[in-house]
Chains A and B, each alone.
Chain A
Amino acid sequence: MKKEFKVIADLLPNNTRVLDVGCGDGSLMNLLEKEKNIEVRGLELNQDNVQQCIHKGLPVIQGNAETELHQFPNQSFDYVVLSQTLQAFYNPEKVLKELLRIGKSVVISIPNFGYWKVRTNLLFFGKMPVTKTLPNTWYNTPNLHMCTIKDLFNFCDEKNINIKKVIGVNENKTSLIKKSNLEIKNLFSKLGIFLIG
């Protein structure tokens, strides 16, 4: 199980209703349903992934988060989870607004473009970074809007979106990110996990 999923699962209370946007093969939903008795729903674009979710008995809707979130009613979930997908949308701001409309709270994880290895890749080698969390090359990456933990932090501030908690993840280590340690954590976290709304 990915460390990221464990961190996300820890953020979510038992017996709640959770929508996993871009749920993949249902690994996170499975964890939430089995260990936290959470009522899960997934939205997933890829047909193979949809099949795997159905095979696991997990409720999943095949669809595109960019265009089809409107089908979920206002505040119909306690939490909406978006794992490492925000940067791949044409219009991440619009998607984020939709997530906040559907969920009472929203959990977003992003691959951190501010991570030091990413920075040095560009700085010393003059190449678009390829790392474990960002495995694609510039010409085949699905990521359209890369950002750093600091960027998303500032974005929420600007848009008056309430930040409840931010966690930085590096391999198996996690740390709480606050305004006071934002610069350093932005340098040493591979992943940022935001609880907002």
Chain B
Amino acid sequence: MNSKLENIKKLEISKPLKLDCGKTINNFPLAYETYGKLNENKDNAILVFHALTGDQFVAETNPVTNKEGWWVTAVGPGKAIDTKKYFVICANVIGGCMGSLGPRNINPETKQPYGLDFPVITIRDMVRAQESLLEHLGIKKLLCATGGSMGGMQLLQFCATFPDKTFSAIPIACSSSHSAQNIALNELARQAIMADPVWDKGKYFLKNVQPKNGLAVARMVGHISYLSEKGMQEKFGRKLQEKADYEFSFNADFQVESYLRHQGYAFVERFDANSVLYISRAMDYFDLSKQFKGGLVEAFKNQKTKFLIISFSSDWLYTTKENKDIVIALNASGTDVSYSEIITDKGHDSFLLDVPEFLKTLKSFIDSMYDKFKNEKRI
């Protein structure tokens, strides 16, 4: 896996980045991927921010895992975000484990992987790091930026920090501040990792091992929260896993157990336990209103970006109410904002799945924004 990580696109950022925790990082790698072509006018660029366990490989095949990109439902030739028409960019967040600076990288001071010596990062740190990438690609203003879940949180931060860097923005199924329930679920995931003896206070890398059991449980927690009660009941019900009756054991009798175990242990193959700790912490610390004296309304003041907020009716992780609060703040700040609630049983995961109403809305908005952006540039 490591040799494959050598061959992916990386930008070495030499400009020092002062983190919210007070520490500064410099000369660090930011791994990214692009799809489609940037046109001559450079007005067809779309930046995608990925979620907690995502990476830069949005579409096509992920060259490291050889699996499909995480957003193939929405991004690709002829898809809602059409790569024949648009230039799609996505960067791995700092703190991640797909090539950008993260706890697995070598700490220049100790010549060992950082582990828990890696500085605690925030959503704002992630976003600031990605700004250099736009500069590197020669893009002054994006046509659109989008992202679901933590990707949406990064996007809100991006718009608040850089009010004129994107013509339009589509935050999907996210929140402007992490709720108590979401912090609690993240804490559950972290505790699962830290309770695994292999984790060894984050020093597992010295023995070249992963706290697999803890990390898998952490992923299972996540997976439960990405589905809805109704969706889960419909998909699994009480169906048994390739057996006629109970085994009277603690093996995975039920399909839902088997599903969770599969998801949990598949995740271990591609993700780093310490990265989960760092990225989930960044989500918990996210509270955009706290950064501005006048709260959330102030965060969006002087905003030129045209927003479309999308929520999913059965999402109990980032609820319609939380998404609507963003709409209310944008409205109060006089920002151009649209909002749509997609009715679906597929829960928080909806943005990654084939939900036609959602994909249609995404496509309609981006295409209409492209027409407007071209016109604006012409004038």
Chain A residues in the interface with B (C-beta under 8 A): 41, 47, 50-51, 53-57, 59-63, 71-73, 76
Contacts and interface: CB of A to CB of B under 8 A. Distances in A.
A63 B339 contact: yes
Interface of B: 306, 308, 324, 327-328, 331-332, 334, 336-343, 357, 360-361, 364-365, 368-369, 371-372
Contacts of B371: 57
A71 B340 contact: no
Contacts of A47: 340-343, 357
Contacts of A71: 324, 327-328, 331-332
Given A53-B338, A61-B331, 9 more contacts: A47-B341, A47-B357, A55-B368, A57-B372, A60-B339, A61-B338, A71-B327, A71-B328, A76-B334
A54 B337 contact: no
Name the prevailing secondary structure of the B interface residues: helix
B343 to A, nearest CB: 7
7 contacts: A47-B340, A47-B341, A50-B361, A59-B337, A61-B337, A63-B324, A71-B327
B332 A73 contact: yes
Contacts of B369: 57
B368 A50 contact: no
A91 to B, nearest CB: 21
A33 to B, nearest CB: 11
A59 B357 CA distance: 18
A51 B360 contact: yes
Nearest to B320: A62
Contacts of B332: 71, 73
Contacts of B341: 47, 62
B307 to A, nearest CB: 9
B340 A51 contact: yes
A63 B371 CA distance: 26
Given A54-B368, A55-B368, A60 B338 contact: yes
A45 to B, nearest CB: 10
B364 A55 contact: yes
